[in-house]
Chains A and B, each alone.
Chain A
Amino acid sequence: MSEEKSCCCNAARCGDESSIPVVPTDTRFEDILGAWKVRWGIHRMNYRINPGLYAVGSPDNASPILVSANYKLTFDSLRKELSGLDCWLLILDTKGVNVWCAAGKGTFGTAELINRIAKTGLGEIVSHRKLILPQLGAVGVSAHEVAEKTGFSVIYGPVRANDINAFIHSGFQATEEMRTVQFTAWDRFILTPVELVEAAKTSLSVFGVLFLLNIFAARTFGLSDFIVYAGVVVTGTVITPVFLPFIPGRAFAWKGWLTGLLWTAACVFFNGWLTPDNLLLGIGYLLVLPSFSAYLAMNFTGSSTYTSFSGVIKEMKISLPFIVSSSVLGIVLILIKSFIA
C-alpha cells in the first residue's frame, strides 16, 4: 500500500501498466523541497513522473478527464487542487517540461495526446468523450484534429491549476480572468533564482579573467569592484524582473540598463571613481555594467508570459548594437586604467 501511495511522488517507481495509480492530493515535505531545488536550478531538467493514466479519488466511467504534463512541478500544483474530486489524470510525455513550454515545442501536442489516449485505452475506461486540457496546451494541440482522430472533444480549461476546481463545479465555464495569463510580482520573483544562478555561473569565468589580470595589473581588482559587479547581476536578474511593470519603458533591455545605471552610478560616486585620477575606471564601469544588466534583463523575455518573437527580435536589433559597443569601449577604458595606474 505504501508502495502504491508513494508511486506518483517517486518517479522511479511508477509505470505499472496493469493498474492505474491513485494520486494523493496532499503536499509532502519532499515535494516542497523538490520544488525549491528546481527553482534554484538543481535537477530542474529531470524532475518528472511517468506519463500515463492516474486516478484521483475514486473515479468511474463518467468522471472528468484532466490532461497535463509530466513535469513534477506541474503535476504537484495540479493534484493539490483536486482534493475532494473524483477524476482521471491523463499525463502526456512532455519530457519533464511544463504544459506551456512543452506545447510550444510540440511535445504537449496533438500527436502525443492521440497516442496517449490509445496507449492507455482511455476509450474503454470512460463512457463519455470529453477531455479537459489546460488552456495553455492549446499552443500545441489542435482540438478539431483530436476530435476527428479519437472522437474525444477537447474542452480548454483555465490557465491556472488553482481555478480547476471552480471550473469543474461550474459545469466547465471559464471566466475571462481564468482565461488570462498573468505575471504577478510573485510569479516573477520565483523565477529569479534560476536567472541568478545562471548569471553567477557565467560570472565565474569573468572572475577567472580578473584574477589573471590582477597578477599583471598596476591597479588590482578588489572588493569594491566585486560589489559594483555583483550589484548589476542582481539588478539584471532579480530587481528588473521583480519590479518589471513599475520600471519606465517597454523594452526589457532598457529597463535593465536603467536599474543597472542607477546602481553603477551610485557605486562609482561613493567609490570616488569620478575624480580625474580614476575617471577612466568610473566611465569604463558606467559603460560596461549597465549594458551587462541590460543584457541579463533582456534574457528574462523568455521567462515572461507576454513577449512575442517579433517584439523580442525588434528589441534585440535595437539594443544589442548599443550593448556590445558600450561594453567593448568600457572594457578598453578599464584595461587602460588597470595597466597605467
Chain B
Amino acid sequence: MKHKHLKNVATLILNAEKCIACGRCTEVCPHGVFSMPNKKVQIKDKDSCMECGACTMNCPVGALSVEASVGCAAAIIKGWFTGSEPSCDCCK
C-alpha cells in the first residue's frame, strides 16, 4: 500500500528547458516522482515528493529546484524553540 501525505504542498520545480535527459533524477528519487518518456524528464507524481533534495543535488545542469528540509514535526518544533534550522538531531 502506497503511503500518501498531504496533497499540493511539494515545492519541487522542474525547468524542462535546461534538462539534458541524463536520467540522474529518475535514478536517485526514492518515490518515483519523475519519468522520462521521449528523452525528456517529466514530473509524474509531484504529491509523492518528500523534498529530500537528492534530485537537485545530482542534477548536473541545475534544472531542478526544491526547498529541501526535514519532514519531521519534532525537529521543526525544536527549531522554533532554538531558533535554528530543523535538523535530525533527536535525542542529542
Q: Are B71 and A312 in contact (CB-based, < 8 A)? A: yes
For this complex, 22 residue pairs linking A to B, each with C-beta atoms less than 8 Å apart, are: A103-B54, A136-B30, A136-B54, A138-B54, A138-B57, A159-B30, A174-B27, A180-B31, A181-B30, A245-B3, A251-B5, A252-B73, A301-B5, A302-B90, A307-B50, A309-B68, A309-B71, A309-B86, A310-B10, A312-B71, A312-B76, A315-B73
A156 in the interface (beta carbon within 8 A): yes
In this complex, the member of B24, B27, B54 whose beta carbon has the largest number of chain A beta carbons within 10 angstroms is: B54
20 more contacts with CB within 8 A, not counting A305-B30, A311-B6, A313-B76, are A104-B52, A135-B27, A139-B52, A144-B60, A179-B32, A245-B3, A250-B5, A252-B73, A301-B5, A301-B73, A302-B70, A306-B50, A307-B50, A308-B5, A308-B10, A309-B67, A309-B70, A309-B71, A311-B9, A311-B71
B71-A304 in contact (CB<8A) = yes
The smallest beta-carbon distance between B19 and chain A, in angstroms, is 15
B5 touches A180 (CB 8 A): no
The reply on A58 being an interface residue by CB < 8 A is no
| Distance A76 CA – B88 CA, assembled complex (angstroms) | 22
Interface of B is mostly: loop
Q: Are A181 and B31 within 8 A (Cβ)?
A: yes
Q: Residue A14 at the B interface, CB < 8 A? A: no
Q: Which of B26-40 contact A (CB under 8 A)?
A: 27-32
A198 CB–B CB distance under 8 Å: yes
Tell which of B7, B58, B73, B86 touches A143, judged by Cβ atoms closer than 8 Å: B58
Q: Which residues of B contact A246 (CB under 8 A)?
A: 1
Contact status of A180 and B30, CB under 8 A, knowing A41-B91, A139-B54, A245-B3: yes
Q: Can you name the residue of chain A whose Cβ is closest to the Cβ of B24?
A: A143
Of residues 16 through 50 on chain A, the ones whose CB sits less than 8 Å from some CB of chain B are 41, 44-45
Q: Interface residues of B, CB < 8 Å — how many?
A: 44
31-88 of chain A: CB within 8 A of chain B: 41, 44-45
Q: How far is A135 from B55 in the complex, measured between Cα atoms in Å? A: 11
